[in-house]
Amino acid sequence: MTVRKVKILKSGMLTSVQDSGRIGFQSSGMPVGGAMDNLSLRLANIVLGNTADAACLEVTLAGPEILFEKQTHFCICGAEMQAKLNDTPIENGKAIWAKKNDILKMSFASKGCRAYIAFSGGINVKPIMGSRSTFLAGKIGGFKGRQLKTGDVLTLGQITGKPMQKNLHDDLLNSIFSNKPIKILPGPEIKSFASDAIKKLLSGTFTLSPDSNRMGYRLTGEKISTKTNKKGIVSSPVPMGCIQIPPDGQPLLLMADRQTTGGYPRIAVAATIDLPRLAQIKPGDQLCFEEISLDEAQKFLQEREKIIREMIRNQ
């Protein structure tokens, strides 16, 4: 059995090993982490016939250069970064065959912010607390607990399936690039806000601050304040997509590496169906929000899940 490896020739802006997250330890204060855009990670693994928990590379804004030390299939989903295999452009969402010594080059994101590179068999780093994800702030998991650097060599895992014969649905692949408003639901502290504050959130346009990262996004726009000007709440758990209002009135939107609990009032929570789109917003991009009902939000997810499962079954 040959050991298959890939070598990082250029790291890109922020490239790290991620899977679907470290689940089951939030009650001990351990962040979930994992891919910011879980849909694109999942699709890239489906295309290659990998298991759902296979680890991929998450690359941010500017992509890496990777040398294939052995032949393998790979697949890119998520942001479009003008990927080329030995100078031949390649498409997202397709299983691509790389021969030994081929080089994958990705450059700046022309669409979206985060791309996911899956390899047949996934990336074989040691799981820590059940996950191969890199928790950057805690220097835990992934490849040596850190983002990848030039010269790093990654070992690939055992191949468990075959690449999908049919193509991915274009609308699944491209749903992350829609610029429609982000769908949100009322948060647990919605009653701490006057109706005009909620109106500001729903009618305003916000800009993603450069001071945003895998933990959370800072949104700048019209100031939103609580009714009582109360500064905080008793520390309470916070889901991904949770929109908190800190004392400065500028919304904080929590993402994959968020702390497990937070202390600012939770005005709203983004619909899960739109989390992959949030992961693809770049600093400086603008976004706005619209409210949907809980029934609608869950129906969206159930419908998407049905499409994905049918696609896997009928491949």
Partner 1 sequence: MITLFPAGDSAMLIKAGNDISPETNYLVRQLLFALLKSSTPGIIEIVPAYNELMVYYDPTVINYKEVSGTIHDAEKQLSDVEIPAGRLLKIPVCYEDEYGPDLPFVASAVNLSIDEIVKSHTSQNYLVYMLGFAPGFPYLGGMDKRIACERKETPRIRIPAGSVGIAGEQTGIYSLDSPGGWQIIGWTPIPLFSPLAKNPFLLQQGDRIKFVAVSKDEILSVKNKIETGNYQLHIEMI
CB 246 within 8 A of CB 214: no
**Identity of the residue numbered 225:** S
Provide, rounded to whole angstroms, the least separation between the CB of residue 239 and partner 1: 4
* Shortest spacing between CB 3 and partner 1, in angstroms: 23
Output the smallest distance, CB 40 to partner 1, in A. Answer: 18
> Quick one: tokens of 223?
């100031």
Residue nearer to partner 1 on the CB measure, 6 or 140: 140
C-alpha dist (Å) from residue 212 to 42, 145, 258:
24, 20, 12
Q: Which of 108, 141, 258, 277 is nearest to 208 (CA)?
A: 277
Gap between the Cα atoms of 77 and 162, Å rounded: 17
User: Which residues make up the interface to partner 1 (CB under 8 A)?
Assistant: 23-31, 128-129, 138, 140-141, 185-188, 234-239, 241-242, 259-261, 266, 269-273, 294, 297-298, 301-302, 305
Q: How far is the CB of 125 from partner 1 (least distance, A)?
A: 13
User: What minimum distance in Å lies between the beta carbon of 274 and partner 1?
Assistant: 10
181 or 186, CB closer to partner 1? Answer: 186
The nearer residue to partner 1, 209 or 259, going by C-beta atoms, is 259
φ/ψ (deg, to 5) at 224: -115, 125
Label residue 10 left, alpha or beta by phi (over 0 means left) and psi (-120 to 50 means alpha).
beta
d(CA 187, CA 102): 49
Give whichever of 305 and 310 is closer to partner 1, judged by the CB atom. 305
* 184, β-bridge pairs: 270, 291
User: In angstroms, what is the minimal distance from the CB of 140 to partner 1?
Assistant: 5
Q: In terms of CB distance, is 104 or 140 closer to partner 1? A: 140
Segment holding 266, helix H or strand E: strand 266-270
3-state helix, strand, coil in the chain (%, to 5): 20, 30, 50
For residue 196, give the 3-state DSSP assignment.
helix
